[in-house]
Structure formats: structure tokens, C-alpha cells
Amino acid sequence: MKRIIILCTWYIVTLSFLTACQKQPTPREQLLNRLTDLQQRGCMFGHQDDPFYGIGWAYEEGRSDVLETCGDWPAVMGFDLGGIEMSDDKNLDSVPFDCIRDEIIRHYQRGGIVTISWHPRNPLTALDHPNTWPEGSAWEATDGAVAAILADGPTHELFLEWLRRVRSFLLTLRTEDGKPVPFIFRPWHENNGAWFWWGDTHCTPDEYKALYTMTQDYISSVYSVLSISVVWSYSPNLDGAMDEEKFLQWYPGDDRIDLIGLDAYQWGTEEDFVRQTTADLDFLCTFAAEHHKLVALTECGFRSIPDPTWWHRVLLPIIKSYSGAVLQCNGPTAERSNSPKGGLSYALVWRNAEGGEHFGPVPDTDNGREFMQFYHDPQILFLKDITNP
Ligand code: BMA
């Protein structure tokens, strides 16, 4: 009898050990591990809507302003789902959702990293103003919209339908052989600004956190493959004076967030941009390291890049101060703190739309030529750097 018990115990222990060894990391774990490894090597360059349009062209397969400037794809590509909640065929920037799906899968298959944002229309006004701007849009920043869509709110059912549409689209992000494409999802961004209906002047911290949690729980419910393929990002806007108390008020929580981002544009003077961005990154990189989170410039740029040397004179030194091996990260004010800092995972510049709304390099222009100095820095990673280590 004793021998049987010993044998059974041995069998069970061995079996559990083998099962544990064989357990494959999920796509989400694989992406997190990859991001963590890459973060030690440098900061990836990202571009919003990269393969859809650029300056002087639109929807020509295989084209990209970044590729045509420097000969490589951005390591990270950003895509936006705004409009999917209305069952529109195209997103708020007129990109067909079918193209978005195809390019997400294509970028994943070429070894790139995908991040997805969402600018949903205003749930209180969108039905009356389905196609206008700013009426009915994410920028119609009415008070009370967040409260209205939470559980028991008058617009909760409508919002669940919106989430269902988002989830249905995300569930189609699979390769031909059925493998889910992992991606970084970044809903409810720039919430410390007043310009979106989910901004901090239009809801309370508890309402905001309930919104984030509800979105996450709906999309990643346990029976959904999205629970094993989504990396979750929280990305407030540039503040210039972030601190732990302020940050924690709105932060959805360590159990909810994998990657902390900062959306940082230069709208005013260069001096202000550098000062505010370094102050916020000082805080965020320290917080991220202490909380074991990734950190990124989830959006950044200088609209229409009036000074093309900005790439290597302004953006590059900021990124270099906050990227590379975690403990080597030395922000300008790092001497004030002994805390380890997390290095930037990526910096994504916004889309290259016509009419002055471009943030990326443009080939055969001074902007594109100056970008090369940024491109050649070994600490800035493009697709070839992350696929041929
Ligand atoms: C903003 C602008 C808008 C655009 C939106 C979503 O920053 O570029 O034109 O619709 O992002 O991409």
C-alpha cells in the first residue's frame, strides 16, 4: 500500500512538472516578454496609420512614408477603431476597417508590434449626430457621459452594444491558421485633458476607473481569446507636473495595466515641451519600474514638423535619456532619485495626413533627410532591428 502511494505521488508530481514545462506562453505573455526584452535594447519607433496613406498618396499596398524615407518599416504601428461602435465601414479618419484588419495582421506577420486606440463617439449625442464633428464625436466633451454608460446608467445597454462591436472586430485579428494576433490596446487615453468626453473634468476618478474596468472585463472576459492576447495600456496626456498622488487617483490599477504611456506633443515652445516631457517621464519611468510595468511615449510629435532638426535635436535626446537597459536610464533629473527607471519601450508619432496634419517623416523633404539622423541612432529600433536581433 505504502509503495502504491509513493508511486502515485511520484506520478502526480512528475506529471504536473511536465505539464508546467510544456505550458506555452499565451500570445499576450509572448508580447509582454518580447516588449520587456526589447526595452533593454532601445526604444522602438512607431507610426500611426503608417501603411494606409502619406503625403501625396493613399491606399497603395506596400507603401509607407517611413519605409520610403529610411528603407525600413516602423517597429510599431498604431491603428484606431473610432467609428466601429457605430457599425461604420470606415474609421473616423476614413480608413476602412477591412484594411485595418489586413494591415494589423500583415504587420504582425512581418514581425512588428501593433497598438490599437479607440476614439468612440459620444454615447449621449452620437445617435442624433452620427456623422458630424465635433457634435456627436469623441471631442464633444459633455459632462455625465461616463456616468450614463456605467452599470445602471441610462445609456449602459447602448454602450454594451458598442463594446460588443469592438470585441467582434478584435476577435477577427487572427492569422490564416487561426492564431490570435497579440496587440496593445489603449482605450480612454489622454483622460487628464478636457477634450474628450471621458476627460477628468467630465467624470470622477471612480467613474473613470469603472469605465476602464468595465471595458476591460467586457473585452477580455475569461471565455474570450482576447483574455490571452491583449496587453493593456493606460496613457494620460502630458502634464508637466505628474506626481504619484495625482496619478494614482485615475490609474486603473496594477492588476489592470501592463503598459503606462504618455501622449506628449509639442504644441507650444520647444523649451516647454522638453521640460514637461522630461518631468513626466522622470515620474512615469520610475513609477513603471517600481510597479513592474512597461512605459512608452504612446503618442508624440510636432505637427507638420516646422523645424525638421526636431527629430535629432529635440526628440532623440529625450528618448535616449529614458531608454536602454533599465538601470542605465538617466533622465535629466535622475540624480534626484535613486530609484530604478524603466526604459521607454516605444515612441509612436501620429499619422501623416494631408493638410498639415502630419507628424512622421516625409520622403524627399528636409523633414525626411533630418529624420535619417534619428533613424541611424542605434538606440532607436525599427522593424529590422527587432526582427534580426
Ligand atoms: C487626432 C487628429 C484627428 C484624428 C484623430 C484620430 O489627433 O489627427 O484628425 O481624427 O487624431 O486619429
11 CA distance to ligand 1 middle (Å): 59
Ligand 1 atom 4 nearest Cα: 93
Per-residue pLDDT, 388: 85
Q: Which residues of the chain have pLDDT under 70?
A: 1-22, 325-341, 389
First and final CA of the chain: distance in angstroms? 56
Ligand 1 atom 2 nearest Cα: 357
CB 302 within 8 A of CB 310: yes
Signed CA dihedral, 175, 43, 293, 279: sign only: negative
| Strand (E) or helix (H) holding 287 | helix 270-290
Per-residue pLDDT, 5: 58
How far is the CA of 140 from the CAs of 97, 134, 199, 208, in angstroms? 23, 5, 11, 17
Residue range 45-64, pLDDT digits in tens: 999 999 999 999 999 999 99
358 CA distance to ligand 1 middle (Å): 10
Quickly tell me which residue has 492588476 as its cell: 255
Total Cβ atoms within 10 A of residue 2: 6
Q: Mutation test of ligand 1: which of 52, 93, 190, 298 has the most ligand atoms closer than 8 Å to its C-beta?
A: 93
1 CA distance to ligand 1 middle (Å): 72
Per-residue pLDDT, 336: 33
Residue range 333-388, pLDDT digits in tens: 333 344 456 799 999 999 999 999 999 999 999 999 999 999 999 999 999 999 98
Per-residue pLDDT, 12: 55
* CA 41 to mean position of chain CA atoms: 19
DSSP 7-61: HHHHHHHHHHHHHHHHPPPPHHHHHHHHHHHHHHH-EEEEEETTTTEETTEES-T
27 CA distance to ligand 1 middle (Å): 29
Per-residue pLDDT, 4: 60
Per-residue pLDDT, 17: 42
206 CA distance to ligand 1 middle (Å): 27
* CB burial readout 9-33, b (16+ within 10 A) else e: eeeeeeeeeeeeeeeeeebbeebbe
- Which residues, 6 or more positions from 178, have their beta carbon under 8 angstroms from its beta carbon? none
Ligand 1 atom 3 nearest Cα: 93
- Which residues, 6 or more positions from 14, have their beta carbon under 8 angstroms from its beta carbon? none
What 3-state DSSP class applies to 339?
coil
- Which residues, 6 or more positions from 337, have their beta carbon under 8 angstroms from its beta carbon? 282, 286
**Which residue ranges have their beta carbon within 6 Å of ligand 1?**
80, 92-93, 119, 350-351, 357
Per-residue pLDDT, 70: 98
Q: Let me know the angle formed at the C-alpha of 178 by 51 and 351, rounded to the nearest 5 degrees.
A: 15
Per-residue pLDDT, 224: 87
Q: What percent of the chain has pLDDT over 90?
A: 87
Q: Mutation test of ligand 1: which of 351, 352, 359 has the most ligand atoms closer than 8 Å to its C-beta?
A: 351
d(C-alpha 266, C-alpha 278), whole Å: 13
Atom number, ligand 1, closest to the C-alpha of residue 351: 8
